Chain A
Amino acid sequence: MTPLSKATDISQPAAHLRLVSDRAGGATPGIKLSGVSKTYRSRDGDVPSLRPLDFTINDGEFFVVVGPSGCGKSTLLKMISGLLPPTTGEVLVDGEKVTKPHGNVGIVFQNALLLPWRNILSNVMLPIDMKGLARDKYLARAKELLKLVGLEGFEKKLPWQLSGGMQQRASICRALVHDPKIMLMDEPFGALDAMTRERMNVELMRIQRETGKTVLLITHSIPEAVFLADRVLVMTERPGAIAAIYDVPLPRPRSLDTMSDPVFTEMVARIRKHFFTQGTLD
């Protein structure tokens, strides 16, 4: 099993930084993609969105995907959650093939997407309502999660009464309330200002450590990717393929000081190089 067999062929001078990830062999694979590709049918013919992908995300791993716009990152997320069938190949979550929405994921999008007619608590409870689970069993958990993200006392507020960062925190609670194994995050902090974003990154890392979830996060920001990830997957331009997968050797717990670590800076420079050589600056 060599998930990096498709690794980039561009020449890399600082090759000592490119640690080929071999963790997949040891730990239990939470998500496994084998030969997964996606081609959209349109009036002008077939549009390939993703070239066949093979990689594994381990249980409890923080896995970050970076890539240029329109490289099929969101398609990847939809296929893992079971919303979209892959054109070829198969997605395995917990060893089971994904054919329809399996509910073992919590999703966070760029916009908080809170329902404006529900208060914060009731928004967080949406997955419970959708899954038809007993409300009273999860109410305490929902409140606890809101406390975890610092939204205690805002349960009865309507979404518009909260700031963008607070809304996004509520949507993270919503993704966690039904206790899924996997959190899928599609540029979750892309709509926030830079300062809020850094704070949210630190907080997200803490939440992931405390809950032990497997996280697949998609981002445009290379520093964010390196800061958060155990491993970073770099994608090429559309149709998306794996350019490289990097292990991030930075110790945990990380703080904002980590960003001045030379390893961090080198990693960021290394990943950025992919997009320079491809001629796309993200």
Chain B
Amino acid sequence: MAEARSPSGLSKLLNAAWVRPFLFLVFIVVAWDLAIRLFHIPAYQIPSPGDVVAVLKTDWPELLRQSWPTTYATICGFLLSALFGIPVAMLIAGSKTVETYVYPLLVFSQSVPKIAIAPLFVVWFGFGIIPKVISAFLLGFFPVVVSAVQGFKSVDPDMVDLARAMQGSRFKVFCAVNLPHAMPAIFSGLKVSVTLAVVGAVVGEFVGSNSGIGYVMQRSIGTFDLPTMFAALVILALLGVILFWIVDRIERLVIPWHVSQRDDIIFAS
């Protein structure tokens, strides 16, 4: 790597992958602060970064406590969308009949705004965790299905023929060829899905809940407590980033052979 050979320690630090987004973030925060000072934006419209940090500091225990239900609902919803999305994609990709019956309806269902039907889940399942999980699941489900279908369908038919000609059973061929081939696409779907699941959980908390970050946001907007609202946004963003990072790590473990991961493999020859 060129970075590794770079002479100065500072430029090495500046080139590290994690520093770059951090620097950009610092730049945005500074610009935000400057804009408020320059244009005299009142605090009830946009709070200053300092105020948000202050709230994060003082209310940290409370915010942390409220972020658990959101995290929990997000993870449950996400796992459900993976658990159902991948088999549904297998069926859609494997059978023309299933595809023609199910796929158009699935696409149709995506044009229904989830936020509009979320109150329905509250009516059905009360104010507990279930409506949040369902809402997170509904948002996370579709990207998994779409990506996985594409992954399963893009396998080279010659490769499948080759395995079938060796008398491999349908199941064996699927496990040896189709499934590993679809993994990169499945993971790109899972990455989109996990961030959308956060949104889904918050939507669930918006419409009817007495806990969670969504609830905190709802409450603080009602009292014009913008610093708390922004602090909640920061927590949500962090939650999304952490979950995304976890899925990304798992991907590296599961498909180390894929093109997108190759720079990590030391080229021996």
Contact = CB atoms under 8 A, between A and B. Distances in A.
Interface string A93-109: 00000000111010101
Contacts, number: 67
Given A160-B262, A161-B269, A130 B158 contact: no
Contacts of B181: 115
B161 interface: yes
A129 interface: yes
A258 interface: no
Given A109-B158, A117-B257, A82 B165 contact: yes
Interface string A184-195: 000000000000
Contact of A102 (B167, B177, B262): B167
Contacts of A102: 167
B267 A161 contact: yes
B180 A126 contact: no
Interface string A144-186: 0000000000000110110000000000000000100000000
Contacts of A132: 172
Contacts of B165: 81-83, 101, 103, 105, 107
A83 B164 contact: yes
A126 B269 contact: no
B269 A130 contact: no
Given A129-B172, A161-B269, A101 B166 contact: yes
B163 interface: yes
Interface in B166-192: 166-168, 172-173, 176-177, 180-181
Given A161-B267, A161-B269, A126 B166 contact: yes
A130 B262 contact: no
B225 interface: no
B255 interface: yes
Nearest to A159: B257
Nearest to B172: A130
Given A115-B180, A130-B167, A78 B255 contact: no
Nearest to B177: A115
Contacts of A127: 166
A83 B163 CA distance: 10
Contact of B167 (A131, A158, A161): A131
Contacts of A157: 268-269
A97 B162 CA distance: 20
A87 interface: no
Chain A binding surface SS class: loop
Nearest to B163: A130
Nearest to A129: B176
Contacts of B259: 160
Interface in A51-108: 78, 81-83, 101-103, 105, 107
Interface residues of A, number: 26
A269 interface: no
A160 B262 CA distance: 10
A115 B165 CA distance: 16
Contacts of A103: 165-167
Contacts of B267: 161
B161 A130 contact: no
A116 interface: yes
A281 B172 CA distance: 42
A117 B168 contact: no
Interface string B244-269: 00000000000101110010010111
A113 interface: yes
A130 B166 CA distance: 6
A181 to B, nearest CB: 13
Given A115-B180, A117-B180, A126-B176, A107 B162 contact: yes
Contact of A117 (B159, B161, B255, B262): B255
A157 B164 CA distance: 25
Contacts of A34: none
B156 interface: yes
A213 B226 CA distance: 79
Interface in B44-69: none
A160 B162 CA distance: 19
B258 A126 contact: no
Of B156, B164, B167, B177, chain A has the most CB atoms within 10 Å of the CB of: B167
Interface in B120-143: none
Nearest to B254: A117
A109 B161 CA distance: 10
Given A113-B159, A161-B269, 18 more contacts: A82-B165, A83-B164, A101-B167, A103-B167, A111-B158, A115-B177, A115-B180, A117-B257, A126-B166, A126-B176, A129-B168, A129-B172, A130-B166, A130-B168, A130-B173, A158-B257, A158-B265, A161-B268
- Closest 3 pairs (CB-CB, A-B): A130-B168, A130-B166, A103-B167
9 contacts: A82-B165, A101-B165, A115-B180, A116-B257, A117-B255, A126-B162, A126-B163, A129-B168, A158-B257
Interface of B: 156, 158-159, 161-168, 172-173, 176-177, 180-181, 255, 257-259, 262, 265, 267-269
